[in-house]
Amino acid sequence: MSLKIIVCKLKGMKNRLGSISKSVETKHRLCRTKSHVALDVTPIEPVQQGQWAYLPPELLLDIIRRVEESATSWPARAIVVCCASVCKSWRSITLEIVKTPQQCGMLTFPISLKQPGPSDYRIQCFIRRNKRTSTFLLYLGLEPSKNESNKLLLAAKKIRSDFVISLATDDFCQASNKYVGKVRFDFAGIDFTIYDSQPPHDAAVQPNCRPSGMFNSKPVSPRRVQACSHLVSTISYKFFWKSPRRMYCIMNSNIVTTIQEGGNTTSPTLLPKIFDEPFSPSPELLGLSQGSIQPLLLKSKDYMRDEQRKCWCLDYMGRAKENAIVLSTKNFQLVEDVVDPSHNASPVERERVVLQLGKIGKDIFIMDYSYPLSAFQAFAICLTQMRV
């Protein structure tokens, strides 16, 4: 049996399982509405797994590995997600085969948006802005395609003093399972704070978690529950009279050793649920919060003065060949801010651009990021430029 036929059957089986699960959920909802009288309701039998769930592990491992190697870009990579949706055995093997963005440079599952990018090169994305609705959409790709087939990664919407970041373009509720995080800014638009929906792993500063209302003594409706927000980064801007503004970023979710030679950072493996317990920092994190280890510091790269065009510009190293970078105050590049000379960071690492934003057209911006930033962190940092 060819690999193409197997993938087609997997898609068909996923649709059948989806219809079965919807019917079971509908029956379960009806039973809950009549729970005060329906005492003799027969229990719902669990959905039986299909014949694909009982494949030999060696054969299953070979099939999923071939599928993963053949799908190297979106939308073809959606087949890998379909493999993880078949059953538990398929999901466990798929998660074992698929590597993190730091290892392979590809985004597969939603959790990949919270994992750091590769260190050898930058993952290339672009942002589409809609001024009328105050929304910002992050897509994967070099630039917008003509048939609008780019992979949507994240969406953000300006709501009062926050940029709420979500996995969907039509759901920006902080109590939803689509909620990813938010960016809060002050009235002057100078100081920004980035919050994550899940606690950081290598936090240099204790995260500022605000427990949701469901943990109070009074019962609260799930629709009114607010998700926890954990401090990820703080960003501030400094303005100068005859030169562009300067950005300073304190990454509380990363320590300074992560960007040094041989440094590494842990990656989350699962997205949080709405009703997660409040975060309680470990003794290691409490020790870090007392100043034993410094957080990672980033700053905007110095602009170069172009005397011929009488403007300040940056070198994007051939990022946009067809669409040249348009001069804009929102263009920036982020590098490490070395405060302590004792940190053994090489000159190459100090000048390595970990994030860059450049305007290529009306309401279109390129966004490239690399280790130690994740797609969520890079997108949140870029949103601060949209407010300034």
pLDDT the model gives residue 343: 59
Q: Which letter, b or e, does each residue of 116-131 get, where b requires 16 or more Cβ atoms within 10 Å of its Cβ?
A: bbbbeebbbbbbbbee
Query: Average pLDDT of the chain?
Result: 75
pTM: 0.76
Is 228:276 a contact under the CB 8 Å cutoff?
yes
pLDDT at 280: 41
Q: Does the 123-387 domain belong in CATH 3.20.90.10?
A: yes
Distance CA 2, CA 8 (A): 10
With cut-offs at 50, 70 and 90, classify the pLDDT of residue 157: very high
Task: State the average pLDDT over residues 145-163.
Answer: 87
Per-residue confidence (pLDDT) for residue 279, from 0 to 100: 38
pLDDT for residue 302? 87
Mean pLDDT, range 76-82, rounded to an integer: 90
Reported as a single tens digit per residue, the pLDDT across 296-313 is 899 999 888 877 777 888
